Amino acid sequence: MRNTPVPTSERPSSMRRVVAASVFGTALETYDLYLYGTAAALVFGPLFFPDSDPTAATLLSLSTFAVSFLARPLGALVFGHFGDRIGRKKMLYVTYLIMGVSTFLIGLLPTFNSIGVLAPVLLVGLRFAQGFGFGGEYSGAVLMLTEHAPAAKRGFYAGLNNIGPVIGFVSSSGLFLLMNSILTEADFLAWGWRIPFLVSILLVVIGLYVRTRVSESPVFEQAQTKAADAKPRVPIAEVLRNNPKQLLLATGANISQFAVFYLFSVYTLSYGVTELGLTRTTILWAVIIAILINLIAIPYASALSDRIGRRKVLTTGFVITIVWAFPFFALFNTGNFILTLVAFMVMMVGYSFVYGPIAAFMSEIFPTAVRFTGSAVAYNLAGILGAAFAPIIATMLMDTYHSSVSISLYIIAITLVSAICVLVGRETRDIDLTADNH
């Protein structure tokens, strides 16, 4: 049955405010995350693990990167619980503050040379806090868009949230690139790397103001009018009891996009420098230009999913990723900037066809009463399986086999897992968000 419109409001001006709040919030959160990923690949090794050899230092640094993903399911449980019980909007204020303050404090951290082993311990603690906050941030922002949007454009509006990470990545990488280009190597390692972390506090203030102008989700408010005993007291228990299949399929469907993006945006930085002898500036420029494609491809793929269905668009993205896994490294390994850019751009098209419609798919697969919890837990479990260890696994594969072929096979294998999960599940485009059960 075609989904019935929820009696929402959403006049164009109201919807624009929801889009602005969600996209800006997700942009800041991903600015924080990707900034850390860039720093972990390029500078945290010598600053926080100086006694290690270069490969070990990179692995240790990337391990701190993975800590965020281990913290995310905990954040998903906490913020999902309260998001389903007392509201989406309230939780988004809390997650926003946690992320922003943690990132700012990383910029103030003393290094190993100043305080010894306490430096990496504090770094790991703040990275954990980042992950804990993000565990509720992304899913809450997507839900606000999904539950405010007109039924026929749900995929498009939910997908718009996913241009936030593009903005966040380009901003963080661009600022990192700027500091790296205008400072000497010594100054950059001494203090220049801190600037991008410190300026995030200004974005927090703006983001909090933007979010005050958005109303609570109308779908959530409608659900609140039901009898109190219809609301789950412990949403995660309800998910595990009544929606285990949805949780499993939603988690699996997300693994590929996580792995592909973090291999692309984090691992390629260290691979390009250590294996190909390219400069950080060259690789960052290629990554930034390629990621800008998502600003067009994500909205297009999301809107297309409203017309032909989520599964068809997602499957197209998986096919592109699998087909391009070997050409990607073949072109990258030439060391030629233009060929590298082609490799990166095509990979980002495949990624966009997954990352755009996956936003609506994740929200639609769970009923309203547990939608925040279910989607947040699934998304963040996928982050552990797909992204947390992807740069580490790629580094270890390269160190063991001395060939990018092993990494291409890894990309293909993990993408097949996501494709199977989407194909096993049913189409979600026509689901009624207000129904008690899906």
Query: Does the pLDDT at position 349 exceed 90?
Result: yes
Q: What Å distances lie between residue 195 and 47, 190, 198, 299, 387, CA to CA?
A: 15, 11, 5, 32, 26
CA distance 293 to 231: 42
Residue 431: inside a domain: no
From residue 309, how far is each of 165, 285, 428, 429, 432 by CA, in Å?
Answer: 23, 34, 8, 6, 15
With residues binned 3-state (H G I as helix, E B as strand, rest as coil), the percentages for the chain, rounded to 5, are 80, 0, 20
Residue 32 DSSP SS3: helix
Asked if residue 293 lies in contact with residue 345, where contact means CB atoms within 8 angstroms, the answer is: yes
Instruction: State the pLDDT at residue 438.
Output: 53
In a domain, 78, yes or no: yes
* Residues 300-320: b if buried by 16+ CB within 10 A, e if exposed: bbbbbbbeebbbbbbbbbbeb
* H-type alpha helices, 161-309: 164-182, 185-187, 194-198, 200-211, 218-224, 235-242, 244-262, 268-274, 280-291, 294-308
How far, in Å, CA of 411 to CA of 42, rounded?
Answer: 23
159 band by pLDDT with thresholds 50, 70 and 90? very high
Residue type, 148: H
What is the per-residue pLDDT for 10?
Answer: 52
In a domain, 116, yes or no: yes
Q: What is the pLDDT of residue 62?
A: 65
Residue 401 pLDDT: 92
- pLDDT confidence of residue 11: 58
Whether 172 and 198 have beta carbons less than 8 Å apart is answered as: no
Q: What is the pLDDT of residue 7?
A: 43
> What pLDDT, on a 0 to 100 scale, did the predictor assign at position 55?
64
Residues 6+ apart with CB under 8 A from 97: 133, 204, 208
Q: Determine whether 84 is exposed, middle or buried from the number of CB atoms within 10 Å of its CB (0-12, 13-18, 19+).
A: buried
Average pLDDT over residues 182-186: 83
Read off the DSSP letter of residue 430: T
Across 91-119, b (16+ Cβ under 10 Å) vs e yields bbebbbebbbbbbbbbbebebbeeeeeeb
Estimate to the nearest angstrom the gap between the alpha carbon of 333 and the chain centroid: 27
Task: Return the C-alpha torsion angle 66, 69, 75, 77, nearest 10.
Answer: -140
**Spatial CA neighbour of 134 closest among 233, 273, 33, 39:** 33
Q: Write out the residue range of the structural domain in which residue 396 sits.
A: 12-216+231-424
Q: Please indicate, yes or no, if residue 226 is contained in any of the structural domains.
A: no
Q: Report if residue 224 sits inside a domain.
A: no
User: In this predicted structure, what is the pLDDT of residue 9?
Assistant: 45
CATH code assigned at 113: 1.20.1250.20
Whether residue 225 lies inside any domain: the answer is no
Whether residue 3 is contained in a domain is answered as: no
Question: To the nearest whole number, what is the mean pLDDT of the chain?
Answer: 85
CA distance 39 to 45: 9
Q: Give 117-151 pLDDT, tens digit per residue.
A: 888 888 889 989 988 988 888 888 888 888 888 88
Domain count, the chain: 1
| Global pTM value | 0.83
Confidence at residue 373, expressed as pLDDT on a 0 to 100 scale: 92
pLDDT for 361 beyond 80: yes
Least confident of 35-49, 50-64, 67-81: 50-64
Asked if pLDDT for residue 5 goes beyond 50, the answer is no
**Sign of dihedral through CA atoms 125, 393, 31, 257?**
negative
Q: Is the pLDDT of residue 295 over 90?
A: yes
Residue 367 placed within a domain: yes
Cβ–Cβ < 8 Å for 402, 329: no
User: Mean pLDDT throughout 56-65?
Assistant: 66
User: pLDDT confidence of 105, banded at 50, 70, 90?
Assistant: very high
CB 393 within 8 A of CB 410: yes
Compute the average pLDDT of residues 55-84.
78
